[in-house]
Chains A and B, each alone.
Chain A
Amino acid sequence: MIKPRITSTSMAVALLVMTLAAFAVIVSCGGEDPTATSVPVQPTATQAPAATEAPAPTEAPEPTAAPEPTAAMAPDSDGKRGGSLIRGVSRTLRAWDYNTEAVWFAPQSLQRHYSNLVRFDPADGTTIIPDLATEWAIADDAAGINFTIRDGVQFHDGQGLTLEDIKWTFERSKSPPEGERYPRLLALQSITDITIIDDNNITIAYENPNAEFIQNFAAAWGIVFAQHVMEQEGGMNGPDRVVGTGPFIIDDAEMEEFVTSRNNPDYFLDAPDGDPFPYLDEMTTVALSDVEARIAAIQTGRIDIASFDPAEFAPAVGALNSIGDSVRMEISPLAGINYLSMNANGPPFDDLKARRAAYLLFDRLRMQQLESLPTGEFASVPTGFFGTVDPFIDEIPDIWEVSKDTREEAVAEGKALADELGIDGFEMVVNSRSFFQELAQLAAQVYADAGWEVTLNVGDSAANAELIQSANFEMSMSTPNVVLPSVSAFLLEQYLPGGREANAAPPPDKIYDLLTELQGATDPVDAQAATREIQKVMREEWIPVVPMGKQVGSSELVANHVQDRPGALGQWFNLHTWTDVWIDENSPRK
C-alpha cells in the first residue's frame, strides 16, 4: 500500500491555521454599526443591589376637591438633550391597539406615543399630576370627575385634540366592538355619562361613588386616541395608526421585534430648561427574549437599558457589574401580591374550614425567609389579602396568624381543622415559567414544614387556564400586578364575583356593605376603619385566597449611561412616557 506523501504535522497545522483564521474573520468582521460600541471591561467589587422596602401605602385622595395640580418636573433636574436610547425587553407588542393586550409589554412599547388625562408622577408612581388635563375636580358625591383640558394640544399628524376625541376614547373603552376586549379597562365600563361642558371642560360620571376612580385615567391603558385616525378603514392595523399626543412619534416598528420613536417637537409639556420634553431625540424598544442576549447586548453597548424578571436577575448581576461605574440598577417597587387561589367550586376548599386550615398552615414569615437573597436580605415582604396596596401592610408580621409569638396557636388550629376534614395536602397548578415554578416550590416547602404534601401540576398558561376555567383544580398560584392601587379596586377586580378569581369562595354579604362604606368614605379615618373590618371578615369568614407575600422588586432594570429625574427610573415598570430620562455624555448614542 502506498502511503500518502502528506505529513501529519503539516496537514494538522494547516487545518488549525484555517480554523483560527476563520474565527478571526468572524470576530473582525464587525463592520461599522451605530449601535455597537465597545465598553471597557472593568471588574468592580460592586455588590448586588440591596433589596428595598415595599412602596409606602398611598392614602385615598380627598374625594370632594381636586388635588392641586403639581409641576410635572422638579426645577432642580438638569436633563441633557439629544441622543438616542435603546431598551431591551423580553417581549414587545403583539397588537397595535394595546388596549386589547393585558400584558405590560404592550404599554412599555407604545405608551410613549400617547397622553392620558392625568398621569402618575414619575417621582413616586402614585401622585396624580396633570397631563392633558390641567385641573380636575371630583364631584361631591364622588361619582363623577370634571377635567379641564389644556388648549393647543396637537396629535402627531398635526390635527388638534378636541374634547370629542376624549369623549370618543372613553365611550369606546366602556363598550369595545364585538369580538374585541379591553382587559385592563374593565373598570371604565361603569362610566354612565360623558358630557362636554364647554371648550375646555368635560365631565365623566360613573355608577358608584368612588374617590379613587381617577386612577383609571392615569393608568397605563387609560390613553387618549385620535378619533379621526381610529375611525379610518381598517382601524388600528399598523404603526401608522399609532397617533397620539405623547412625547414621542412612532417612526418605525415591526410587531414582536422593535418600536422606534422620535422626539415630538410639539409636545405640550415643557422641561425645566423651557423647551418641550422629552430630552431624547430617539427611543427604541427591542425584543431580546433570552436573558443572556440581553446581558450581552447591554455589556457591549448595543442597548442602554434592559429589564429582568426576578428569576433572571441574579445571573445577570455579576456580568453587569463588570461594565463599570456607568451602570445602575433599579428595583421597581411594583404594587401587587403573590397568593394561592383556592377553588371553592369543589372539595376540599369549598369548605371554609379547609380554606382556613390552608390559610393558617401557610407561614408567611417562613416564605419570606425562603425567598431571601444569598446576602440574607429579604427579597419579599409578607402581605395580607391586598398585597402592597394594603394601608396596614406593615402590621402583617404582627397579626395573630403570622406573628412568631402566636404562630404555634395558629398552626395548632390549622392542623385541628385539617384533621377534622381528613386533609393532608393538595395539588397545585403552576405556570411553567421558572419564576412561578420557583415560587411554587418554596410554597410547597412551607406547607411541607406544616405537614402538608403539595403536588405541583406544571403547565403553560393556556393549559392552566383551561383547568382553572373549568374549575378542575384544587389550588393555583397567582402573582397579579395590580394596576389600581386601592383596596376597593383590589376587591372588585380580584376577589368579588366578576373579578379575576372566578373560583374564589363567594363573600359574606357584609363585605358588600363594607365596600360601599369604604368607597363612599370621605374621611380617611372612616376609610381605614372600613378597611380593617373588611380584612377581619376576609380572614375569619371568607378567605378567598392564601396570601404568600410579594417580591420587593417585581422586576428589575439595568441602565448604562442613563440619567433621570430622581425616582423616575425606579418607577420604570409603570411609567412609559420616558420624558424624565436622558443619556449622559459618554453614551455610545449621544
Chain B
Amino acid sequence: MRDYIIRRVLLLIPNLFILATLTFFLARVLPGDVALGLVAEDGSVIDQEAVQVIRERLGLNDPMPVQYARWMLQLLQGDLGKSDVSDLSVVHVVAETAEVTFLLAILSVIIGAAMAIPFGILSAMMRGRWPDQVIRTFSAVFLALPNFWLGILLLLALVTWFSWSPPIFQETFLDAPVKQFQRLILPAVAIGTSFAAVATRLTRSTMLEVLNQDYIRTARAKGLFPNRVIIRHALPNAVLPIITLSALLFAGLLNGAVVLERIFALPGMGVEIVTATSERDFQLLQGLVLVLGAFVMVWMLLIDLVYVALDKRIQLE
C-alpha cells in the first residue's frame, strides 16, 4: 500500500509537467493576448502604442519557447505566477475562490447522493410498480433539464413565493456558516438534482443486479429482515458505482459549475477560469489549471484508496 501511494505521488510530477505544458501551448492557440484584451473595448483598439507597452512589460514579445522556459523556471521555484490583469497572485486567487468551489462541490454531491441512494433503492425494490415508474419518470425529466435552468427556476420561485434570494456578499464558511449555506444551497440543489437523476438510475440498476445475487438469497433464506438484507448486504456492494460517479462529479465540479457560479454570483474557480480565458490572462489561467489538475489527481488517488477500504476484493497492485 505504501509503495503504491508513493508511486502514485511520484507520478504526479510528470503528469503535472504534461498538464502545464499542454495548458501553456493550448492557451496560446486562442487568438489575441492579454494586451489586446486589456485595451480592446467595444470592438475598437484604443491605443496601439499601449498594446506594445503592455506586451513588452509582460514579456509577450519574447519568442514562445522563451516564455515557456520562463514559466517552467518560475514553477520550479514554487511560484505559480500572478494575474496579468489584476496583478493578484495565483495563490491569492485560489485562496479566494477555492472555498466556494469546494463547498459547492461537496454540497452538490451530498444532496445528489442523499436523493439518489434512497430513491434508487426504492425504485429497485418496487420494480415495475408505481413508485418505480414515478421515480424513473422524474429521473428522466431531471436528466433532460439543464442544471443552470433549474437553478434560475429555483431562484425565481423563491423570489416569487417567499420574496427571498440568496445573500449577495461573500463571507467565509467559518465566519458566517448560515449565510454561506444560503448562498450555496440553490446551485447545489440544481447540480445535485441533475446528478441524482443519473445516480438514481445507476443505483436502481446496481441494486437490481445485487438483489439477484446468491448471497442475498442466502441472507433472506437465513430469515433476516428485508431492511437488514438491504442495508447490511446489498447496499455496500451496490454503492461502489455511486462512489465512482460522485468522485467524477466532484472532480468535474472542481473545475467549476461556471454558469451556476455566474447566476448566483459565486466567486468560484470556474468563473475565474472563464474570465481569465476571455481576457487572455494566460498566467492566471495556467496557474489555476495547474492547481486544479493537482487537486483532481490527488482526489483520484484518494478515491482509489477508498475503494480498497470499502471492498477488500480490490487489490491496488
**Which residues does A use to contact B, with CB under 8 Å?**
1-6, 8, 11-12, 15, 18-19, 22, 26-27, 29-31, 33, 35-36, 38-41, 86, 88, 94-95, 102-103, 178-181, 183, 186, 237, 254-258, 286-290, 292-293, 296-297, 299-303, 341, 429-431, 436, 459-469, 476-481, 500-502
Contacts and interface: CB of A to CB of B under 8 A. Distances in A.
B19 to A, nearest CB: 23
Interface of B: 30-34, 36-37, 39-48, 50-51, 53-54, 56-57, 85-88, 96, 114-115, 118-119, 122, 125-126, 129-131, 134, 152, 155-156, 158-160, 162-165, 167-170, 178-179, 181-182, 185-186, 189, 217, 220, 225-227, 230, 262-265, 267, 271, 278-280
Nearest to A94: B86
Contacts of B129: 8
Given A15-B119, A183-B47, A462 B167 contact: no
A15 B126 CA distance: 14
Nearest to B225: A5
A259 to B, nearest CB: 12
Nearest to B160: A41
A181 B54 contact: yes
Given A94-B86, A181-B50, A462-B31, A501 B169 contact: no
B43 A35 contact: no
Given A179-B54, A502-B48, A462 B155 contact: no
Contact of A289 (B36, B40, B265): B265
Contacts of A38: 162-164
Contact of B227 (A6, A35, A95): A6
B163 A39 contact: yes
A183 B50 contact: yes
B39 A464 contact: no
Contacts of B159: 296, 299-300
A179 B279 CA distance: 18
Nearest to A338: B42
Contacts of A88: 168
Contacts of A292: 152, 155-156, 263
Given A288-B168, A288-B265, A465-B40, A11 B156 contact: no
Contact of B42 (A41, A296, A460, A478): A478
Contact of B182 (A3, A30, A476, A502): A30
Given A15-B119, A29-B181, A465 B39 contact: yes
Nearest to A255: B86
24 contacts: A6-B226, A31-B182, A35-B169, A36-B165, A38-B162, A95-B86, A179-B53, A183-B46, A183-B50, A255-B86, A255-B88, A286-B169, A287-B265, A292-B155, A296-B155, A461-B37, A462-B279, A462-B280, A476-B44, A478-B44, A480-B41, A481-B42, A500-B46, A502-B45
Contacts of B226: 2-6
B170 A257 contact: yes
Given A2-B220, A255-B86, A465-B37, A293 B265 contact: yes
B139 to A, nearest CB: 13
A222 B152 CA distance: 40
B123 to A, nearest CB: 10
Contacts of A4: 125, 226-227, 230
A66 to B, nearest CB: 32
Nearest to A288: B265
Contacts of B34: 462
Question: What 3 pairs across the A-B complex have the smallest Cβ distances?
Answer: A462-B32, A465-B40, A179-B57
Contacts of A5: 225-226
Contact of A286 (B45, B131, B168): B168
